[in-house]
Amino acid sequence: SQSKLTIASQPPTVIMMVGLQGAGKTTHAGKLAGLYKKQGKNPLLVACDVYRPAAIKQLEIVGEKLGIPVFTLGDKVSPVKIAKEGLKFAKQKGYDMVFIDTAGRLQIDEELMDELKNIKKKIEPTEILLTIDAMIGQESVNVAETFNNLLDITGVILTKLDGDTRGGAALSIRYVTGKPIKFIGTGEKLDTIEPFHPDRMASRILGMGDVLTLIDKAQAAFDEKPAAELEQKMRQQTFTLDDYLEQLGQIKSMGSLEQLMGMIPGMKPGALKDAKIDEKAMAHTEAIIQAMTMAEREHPEIINASRKRRIAIGSGTSVEEVNKLLKQFEQMKKMMKQFSGMGGKRSPFGKMKIPF
């Protein structure tokens, strides 16, 4: 199950952000504050990094973009004092979430670690979140272990986790620290943060794709009415090649095809990094389905060898391509069957819009 942030029973909830320099801590302090602002919270960002040139300015720029105020006493005051004063200010002004952006480390340095321990002691944070760059691989596990031993962190934000990263680091960090990965940063923009779903990551690592995330992405791209009809068809196993064609037409509105393909079962994330998605192949699929009769589209099982030859000629493709499409369609129907036969659980297609 995925972990959310613990919200303090007595506001404000105090989130202390820690991590190495360059892991994206300042940006992710903003991303998280933005995420909770959307959920109706009233967050305050506190600038406690007095060492890195322009760190305070960076936090102010992030805050400005998100419409979230930043508390700062400049870079001549001790970070412990800034954290204490920031918290006092939040209580006076009624901010119910405080994100403390601490100084990053180039490497683990005892003096700076003592400073973090001091901040922790003075503000008693609800959560201590360690931001880690997924790109540093095995090293990320050592970083997590060290920070956890010194500060007893409550969770991790894993950044720069794109389709190429197999997520092994995520599982190792969880194993070594015993602390949950709570969020993942998946891009540069300030809304590219999502709750971490261990089951999705595990399935992605096992090559099962990331169908649930794909469904979430699809939520925004489809209309309610066709979605309801589609859900009905899935439940009743009456999804046809015509429906498939319609879905294909809508996929393009969901962002980069490369990204989407990385989430589809059987596709290795990153396998398409240098390959452009073959728009031509999509056009072929459309042509093949359009060359079929209504009966064939509704009951592909009637398509025998001579029908396949006729469809291939009619669509300007080959029998091999026709076979491939039919096989893909079969696999998809199997997958849908698994989804819609999930026992008493509420179908994951509650309000869903399927991208296929």
Q: How do residues 110-139 score in pLDDT, each as one tens digit?
A: 888 899 999 999 999 999 999 988 777 777
Kindly state the average pLDDT of the residues 175-192.
Answer: 79
CA distances to 195, 196, 221, 263, 340 from 213, rounded to whole Å, are 11, 11, 13, 8, 17
Please say if the pLDDT value at position 187 is more than 80.
no
Q: What percent of the chain has pLDDT over 90?
A: 40
Amino acid at position 26, single letter: T
Please tell me the distance from the alpha carbon of residue 281 to that of residue 287, in angstroms, as a whole number.
Answer: 10
Please tell me the distance from the alpha carbon of residue 130 to that of residue 108, in angstroms, as a whole number.
Answer: 13
- pLDDT value of residue 100: 95
Three-class DSSP category at 222 = coil
Q: Which residue from 279, 289, 237 is spatially nearest to 258, judged by alpha carbons? A: 279
Start-end of H helices in 184-304: 198-205, 211-221, 224-235, 241-251, 257-262, 279-290, 294-298
Please say if the pLDDT value at position 209 is more than 70.
no
- pLDDT value of residue 186: 74
- pLDDT value of residue 221: 56
- Answer for the pair 298, 240: CB distance below 8 angstroms, yes or no: yes
Please tell me the distance from the alpha carbon of residue 6 to that of residue 142, in angstroms, as a whole number.
Answer: 25
Please say if the pLDDT value at position 159 is more than 50.
yes
Please say if the pLDDT value at position 75 is more than 80.
yes
Kindly state the average pLDDT of the residues 159-169.
Answer: 61
Q: Is the dihedral of CA 234, 223, 186, 258 positive or negative?
A: positive
Please tell me the distance from the alpha carbon of residue 209 to that of residue 262, in angstroms, as a whole number.
Answer: 7
Kindly state the average pLDDT of the residues 102-106.
Answer: 83
Task: For residue 185, report the phi and psi dihedrals to the nearest 5 degrees.
Answer: -100, 130
Kindly state the average pLDDT of the residues 251-255.
Answer: 59
Kindly state the average pLDDT of the residues 205-213.
Answer: 52
Mean pLDDT of the chain: 79
What six digits make up the tokens of 53?
């040139």
Angle between helices 25-38 and 55-66 (to 10 degrees): 20
Kindly state the average pLDDT of the residues 100-108.
Answer: 83
Bigger pLDDT: 81 or 25? Answer: 81
Q: Return the number of other C-beta atoms located less than 10 Å from residue 152's C-beta.
A: 11
Please tell me the distance from the alpha carbon of residue 185 to that of residue 84, in angstroms, as a whole number.
Answer: 28
Confidence of residue 340 (pLDDT cuts 50, 70, 90): low
- pLDDT value of residue 164: 44
Please say if the pLDDT value at position 278 is more than 90.
no
- pLDDT value of residue 199: 64
Kindly state the average pLDDT of the residues 324-348.
Answer: 68
Q: What strands, in cross-sheet order, belong to the sheet with 97-101?
A: 70-71, 43-47, 97-101, 13-19, 127-133, 155-159, 181-185, 193-195
Residues ≥6 apart with Cβ < 8 Å to 242: 289, 297, 298
43-77 burial, b at 16+ Cβ within 10 Å, e below that, comes to: bbbbbbbbeeeebbebbbebbeebebbbbbbebee
Confidence of residue 69 (pLDDT cuts 50, 70, 90): very high
Residues 1-45: pLDDT tens digits?
446 888 999 989 999 999 988 888 899 999 999 999 999 999 999
Please say if the pLDDT value at position 175 is more than 50.
yes
Q: What percent of the chain has pLDDT over 70?
A: 71
